[in-house]
Amino acid sequence: MSNEAAPRPHILILGQGSREHALSRTLAKSPLHPQVFVAPGNDGIAHDPLVQGGCVPISATEHQKLLSFCDTHAIDLVVVGPEAPLCDGIVDVLSAAGVRVIGPVKAAAQLESSKLFAKRIMASAGIPTASWSTLASSLEEATQQLQQCVYPCVLKADGLAGGKGSFIVRSIADALDVVHKLRVERIFGAAGDVILVEELLVGKELSYMGLTDGECFLPFSSSQDFKRLSSDDASPNTGGMGAISPSPECSPELEQMIQSDIVAPLLQEMSLKGFPYQGFIYVGLMLTSEGPKVLEFNVRLGDPETQAVLGREGSGDLLEALLMMSEGKLSAYQGDLRHQGHAVCVVSASQGYPLSVQKGDEIVGLTELLAADAEVFCAGLKYDADADMWLTDGGRVLSVVAEADSLDEAVERVYALSSRVFWRGLQRRDDIG
Ligand code: AMP
Ligand code: GLY
């Protein structure tokens, strides 16, 4: 019998935020001892001793460079973090060159890149969602349509808008203002050319994510995102200022219902329509008095939800699941990716976020926090080697996660850890969890 050790899998993660830092740490901790690379990553990931492959200065749009990196480093699997490269067809490009990759092809990624596509799929699959229509392209007809609406309602840009494309409008004047921004000022370019008008749903929001090969679906624990900058409902929407997992709203019955009434029909319909889906899938839900209704699908993991759901005590080996999926064997994966306990993720953001981000402020305490073996996931920051200091370099600077048997204990721990770093103008919600 050979006593040669199994070869270490070589994994390349694409992306540069806290979500990708969490993914890279989770995969790096696998008993399969992978070598994990992140492209382009960030200075925080580059300083993480767990992520042994380190960061590779290649962006997801540099297809030739990525292909040659995969070749020279014998990459076994590419995992794509953000939506932009997926919607841009990175999976098609890598797969065509024989590189195994987790994520949907461009045609299937329309589930996120076009809200109209997602609504049509939901309509034909019978998936519960807010009632909707598309706004006529002539201003005169659109105005007539908006006169018939029940307010408040929601206007949505069809395309990718960095999470800023949905507007709750309270009057026809508000609605016409949004139409002007989208169609005349074109604040999101072509993404705002088609506008959807949606019924306003009321309830609590829930994020539900999993991994699928198009048939088999492996769920992560449920989670809840805290989207607003502060606890004030009038404060601006952000990419997410924190998350908890599991969501206290998600009972086993609800989870079952989401799987059978939403995920299963979605995957079946995508196949039927010629868009078989594989990759991570994110279902954003509103828990209304009539039951759960889909707000949106994302074709990737959520940020900051991922930081809260991944790699926690009691969960299976995500790397093993991903490798099995890449070999067409996901259904044989025996583990459960849901964690036990309660995880809380708190995001710390720079001054001015999300409107005008202030960069270059010294981050005090980060070196010590990173050395403390805390779950710190870096995003908008950089390391100044000459001055030996960390500086803010983006909106959401870092996420800290703590897990405990109870939510209260996890909250206490995460805030004790988070308060060890600070910078001028730091913004952090104090009510996550
Ligand atoms: P989306 O742009 O679809 O990702 O939605 C962003 C956020 O807008 C959601 O997380 C909700 O908070 C809110 N939202 C979107 N659609 C609706 C709706 N139909 N009713 C109520 N809130 C909504
Ligand atoms: N946290 C919401 C998202 O990632 O879209």
pLDDT tens-digit readout, 108-141: 999 999 999 999 999 999 999 999 999 999 999 9
Written out in words, the top-level CATH class of the domain with range 10-106 is: alpha beta
- With respect to CATH, is domain 202-332 assigned 3.30.470.20? yes
pLDDT band at 3 (very low <50, low <70, confident <90, very high): low
Q: What is the mean pLDDT of the chain?
A: 95
Mean pLDDT (whole number) for 355-368:
94
pLDDT band at 2 (very low <50, low <70, confident <90, very high): low
Q: What is the pTM of this model?
A: 0.96
Q: Which ligand is nearest to the CA of 203?
A: 1
Testing ligand 1's pocket by substitution, the residue of 226, 286, 288, 294 carrying the most ligand atoms inside 8 A of its CB is 286
Mean pLDDT (whole number) for 66-71:
98
Q: Which residues pair with 383 in a beta bridge?
A: 390
Mean pLDDT (whole number) for 388-406:
96
Angstrom CA distances, 166 to 88, 158, 329, stand at: 21, 9, 38
Which residue has a Cα nearest atom 16 of ligand 1? Answer: 295
Per-residue model confidence (pLDDT) at position 6: 76
Mean pLDDT (whole number) for 206-225:
97
Residue 155 pLDDT > 70: yes
Architecture in CATH of 136-193: 2-Layer Sandwich (3.30)
DSSP line for 180-231: IIIIIS-TTGGGGSSEEEEEPP-SEEEEEEEEESSS-EEEPPPBEE--BSSS
Which residue has a Cα nearest atom 5 of ligand 2? Answer: 302
Testing ligand 2's pocket by substitution, the residue of 238, 245, 282, 297 carrying the most ligand atoms inside 8 A of its CB is 282
Q: Which residues pair with 218 in a beta bridge?
A: 211
Which of 200-209, 228-237, 284-293, 294-303 has the least mean pLDDT?
A: 228-237
Mean pLDDT (whole number) for 351-368:
94
Testing ligand 2's pocket by substitution, the residue of 303, 309, 429 carrying the most ligand atoms inside 8 A of its CB is 303
Alpha-carbon distance 147 to 168, whole Å? 16
Alpha-carbon distance 277 to 293, whole Å? 21
Which of 25-29, 42-46, 65-69, 371-375 has the least mean pLDDT?
A: 371-375
Mean pLDDT (whole number) for 399-405:
96
pLDDT band at 4 (very low <50, low <70, confident <90, very high): low
**Ligand 1 atom, smallest distance to 296 CA:** 3
- With respect to CATH, is domain 342-418 assigned 3.10.20.90? no
Domain residue limits, the chain: 10-106, 136-193, 202-332, 342-418
pLDDT digits (tens, 9 = 90+) for 247-277: 999 999 999 999 999 999 999 999 999 999 9
